[in-house]
Chains A and B, each alone.
Chain A
Amino acid sequence: MNVIQAYSGNKRKTTVQARNRKRLGSYVKSPKGMDIRVLPHTADVEIKVHGITYKKLFENNLKAMSNILKEGCCDMKGHFDCLIKLNITATDPTNLLVDFLSEILSLTYVQKALFCNIYFSELSNTKIDAQLYGKWIDGFDEEIKGVTYHEAYVKRNEDGTWESHIIFDI
């Protein structure tokens, strides 16, 4: 597995990550405002994502997944090619995040589009109503077969920020 850590919206953390970058070495180009660190594991890809809010956590997870599918895709600017409504319910925040990413992964393949932007009209512990904006693309860098529940979690840290952990089957 590859461990990817994603942070955003916090300059101090970005600086710390930049320092760690030298020490840990392995990085991939990341969406703007996020640092993504890749650490060696045996198979698959593992992401640890932080967000200053619960909503930001979901947005960052979306960007982190799209960035695995196509490196740097969330840095691209311009018009959107498709708009899709999302309605997802789950039993808890962890299942909600896994189901959210799974649904978007399926849409990515069917629409042949990458999604980096989302507007949440409702986001709770068990429900998402949102509009998803995507750009059509010709191909992907990596194939994600599935978003797994293996060791998945969503938690709120003592400093009030949010953290999640997801493993993708590659």
Chain B
Amino acid sequence: MKKVRKADIRKIEDYLWEIPKSFRQDMHVPARILANETLLNDILDDRSLNQLVNVACLPGIKEASLVMPDVHEGYGFPIGGVAATAHPEGAISPGGIGYDINCGVRLQVSRLQRQEVENHLEKLSKELNAQIPSGMGKSGHVRVYGDEMNEVLIKGAKWAVEHGYGSKEDLQYIESNGRLSFADPTLVSIMAKNRGADQLGTLGSGNHFVEVDYVEKIYDDDIAQTYGLREGQVVVLIHTGSRGLGHQVATDYIRSMMRAMPKYGIQIPDRELTCVPFNSEEGQDYFKAMCAAANFAWCNRQIIAAEVADAWETVFGEDGGELRLLYDVAHNIAKIETHTIENRPQKVIVHRKGATRAFGPGSDEIPQAYAKVGQPVIIPGSMGTCSYVLAGAAKSEEMTFGSCCHGAGRRLSRTAVKKQVNAPVLKQELKEKGIFVEGSYRGIAEEAPMAYKDVNLVVDTVETSGIAKKVAKLKPMAVIKG
């Protein structure tokens, strides 16, 4: 298949580019790239745009396949990809969600200022590391089997709250209130449930983390005030997903869809884009199982937040106060949403793989307290640079099916970065910059700042495009690597 070159791409605006439908015969819609020219040149280095073109071939796809500025090559969909398919007959593709169903981020805010925390960072990072099981094959403190597991899969974050992890108020600050109602635990395999049985409250490995940050800069005073953010304030960022349970749901249904696809006469350019009509039996089974896995992920992050709160209390006692949930948002998920397409509202199945929902002011889907300013969009950078809090804007619903970037975007492989980074030296360098890192040397090297694109450039592109507004910049103080 021919590789996408810059000459194949036409500029629509400074930050929006398009590969026309005529690029390949099997495209149903054009493919669009949200990026400035510098990022576009980087993006052209890997095969993510060819993957974007493949996504444009999905049955029932609407308007355009899209990538955010943090895009990089994945499998099937590129990471940072968004696609909306017609409801109910359009395709649903597990490859458009990924193996880590409802991988997402959660931001907890404290009442402490940077100066009150910085002398306790070493103790805090060790306490967080002790409280939160992380790394491969590590079991959590919570075990769920049988009917209890089914309850987790139905109730999501609510199950955690009912069992003493966090408060009822938290639920309104979680995307979809931490629970997708279509979830059906009977469609989740025994293998998946077994894999998840001891994984609630665990981070996992790879790029997952818990990070203590302080607010370095406020860009929009009004929105920051609405979110309860101020300069110097210490916050905690949590990044993880549905662990082995979600990975198994994806594996199970990709396999079953592969077998079902010929029956619907669907032909796709990449096996990993396997899909079926959403309203088919196989499509419905996957969607309901995926919703159950998403609920597991929200429950997981709710429990991790309680573990963070325990560590916080151990270090700061009553003076530390509570850690309030600002927002919890998914970046690997499919949801049924209504968007204006061809000048009329249409129900679509929005696939977000490495993309964050970013609804603007007035949306019914966002917490009432944030209704006037838009949904918080949390963008983690890398452990040595910075992260951002943005606010979703109405333009995201016009341009990107209400979606935004999800991070900085990887630019170097784990192998390449390990060759260039001496983990003990990096850990010491970060410590000298006031950033305490806990985790295996292997994990620290793989996630070194140099492995990622410039998050500032990614976020500036997003803001220039108008799909989200910068609210606050966060600087890391302590990082617990998965």
Question: In the docked arrangement, what's the CA distance between A147 and B252, Å?
Answer: 11
B415 touches A141 (CB 8 A): no
Which parts of B44-83 form the interface with A (CB within 8 Å)?
46, 72-76, 79
Which of the 9-residue segments A13-21, A52-60, A102-110 touches chain B?
A102-110
Q: Is the CB of A106 within 8 A of B413?
A: no
Total number of A-B contacts with CB less than 8 angstroms? 107
Which of the candidate stretches A35-43, A73-81, A116-124, A127-135 sits at the interface with the other chain?
A35-43
How many angstroms between the C-alpha atoms of A143 and B76 in the bound complex? Answer: 20
Give chain B residues whose Cβ lies under 8 Å from the Cβ of A91.
258-259
- Alpha-carbon distance between A25 and B416 when the two chains are bound, in angstroms: 11
Which one of B244, B272, B414 contacts A150 once the chains associate, using CB atoms below 8 Å?
A: B272
Query: Contact mask B209-249 → A, CB, 8 Å, 1/0?
Result: 00000000000000000000000000000000000100110
Minimum Cβ distance to chain A for residue B442 (Å): 7
Contact with B along A127-164 (1 / 0, CB 8 A): 00000000001111111011111111000000000000
Distance in angstroms between the alpha carbons of A150 and B50 in the assembled complex? 13
Query: Residue B365 at the A interface, CB < 8 A?
Result: no
With a cutoff of 8 Å between Cβ atoms, the chain A residues found around residue B247 in the complex are 145-146
Nearest neighbor of A69 in chain B, beta-carbon distance? B136
Taking each of A105, A141, A146, which has the highest tally of chain B beta carbons within 10 Å of its own beta carbon?
A: A146
Check A42–B194 contact: CB distance below 8 A: no
Given A106-B195, A142-B205, A145-B247, A40–B415 Cβ distance below 8 Å? yes
CB pair A139–B79 under 8 Å, yes or no, is no
Q: B143 within 8 Å of A by Cβ?
A: no
Q: Is the CB of A149 within 8 A of B274?
A: yes
B:301-350 near A, CB below 8 Å: none
Contact A42 B195 (CB under 8 A): no
Are B413 and A42 in contact, CB atoms less than 8 angstroms apart? yes
Is B17 close to A, CB under 8 A? no
Please give the distance in Å from A153's CB to the nearest CB on chain B. Answer: 10
Minimum CB–CB distance for B112 against chain A, Å: 33
Q: How far is A40 from B46 in the complex, measured between Cα atoms in Å?
A: 12
Kindly provide the distance from the CB of B451 to the nearest chain A CB, expressed in whole angstroms.
10
> Which B residues lie within 8 Å of A45 (CB)?
414
Interface contact B274-A143, CB-CB below 8 Å: no
What distance in Å separates the Cβ of B283 from its nearest Cβ neighbour in chain A?
18
| Distance in Å: Cβ of B313 to nearest Cβ of chain A | 29
Chain A residue nearest in CB terms to B192: A106
Report how far A145 CA is from B75 CA in the complex, Å.
Answer: 13
Q: Is B411 an interface residue, CB under 8 A from the partner?
A: yes
- Indicate whether B142 reaches chain A with its CB closer than 8 angstroms: no
Q: By the criterion CB–CB under 8 Å, are B271 and A143 in contact?
A: no
Asked if residues B274 and A39 are in contact (CB atoms below 8 Å), the reply is no
Q: Count of chain A residues with Cβ under 8 Å from any Cβ of B?
A: 41
Quote the shortest CB–CB distance from B384 to chain A (angstroms).
19
Contact B75 A147 (CB under 8 A): no
Q: With a CB–CB cut-off of 8 A, which chain A residues contact B244?
A: 109
Which of chain A's residues has its CB closest to B416's CB?
Answer: A40
Interface residues of B in 429-477 (CB under 8 A from A): 442
Cβ contact within 8 Å between B415 and A169:
no
Kindly list chain A residues whose C-beta atoms are within 8 Å of the C-beta of B195: 106, 109-110
Give the contacting residue for B250; candidates A38, A99, A142, A146; CB below 8 A. Answer: A146
Find chain B residues with CB under 8 A from A106 CB: 191, 195, 248, 251
B251: contacting residue among A41, A102, A110, A150, CB under 8 A: A102
Query: Does the CB pair A141–B442 fall under 8 Å?
Result: yes
Contact status A147-B251, CB under 8 Å: yes
- CB proximity of A125 to chain B, nearest CB, Å: 16
Partner pick for B255 among A25, A42, A99, A139, CB 8 A cutoff? A99
Which residues of B from 400 to 418 have beta carbons under 8 Å from A?
410-416
Interchain nearest-CB distance for A98 vs B (Å): 8
Q: Are A42 and B72 in contact (CB under 8 A)?
A: yes
Tell yes or no: B98 within 8 A of A by CB: yes
Contact A170–B137 (Cβ < 8 Å): no
Q: Which residues of A contact B419 (CB under 8 A)?
A: 25-26, 40
Given the known interface contacts A26-B419, A141-B442, A149-B258, the answer about A40 and B413 at a Cβ–Cβ threshold of 8 Å is yes
Q: Which residue of B lies closest to A168 (CB)?
A: B75
* Interface residue? B14 (CB, 8 A): no
Name A170's contact: one of B259, B272, B414 (CB within 8 Å): B414
Chain B residues near A112 (CB, 8 Å)?
137
Chain A residues with CB under 8 Å of B191's CB are 106, 110
**Cβ contacts B100-139/A at 8 Å (1 or 0 each):** 1000000000000000000000000000000000011110
Q: Which 6 A-B pairs have the closest CB atoms?
A: A150-B75, A149-B271, A140-B136, A40-B416, A150-B272, A146-B99
Enumerate 8 A-B pairs (CB-CB under 8 Å) in ascending A order.
A40-B415, A41-B73, A42-B72, A143-B204, A149-B258, A151-B270, A169-B98, A170-B414
Name B's A-contacting residues (CB within 8 A): 46, 72-76, 79, 95, 98-100, 135-138, 191, 194-195, 204-206, 244, 247-248, 250-251, 254-255, 258-259, 270-272, 274, 410-416, 419, 442
Beyond known contacts A109-B195, A169-B98: 9 more, CB 8 A cutoff: A40-B415, A42-B413, A43-B410, A106-B251, A147-B251, A148-B75, A149-B272, A150-B270, A169-B99
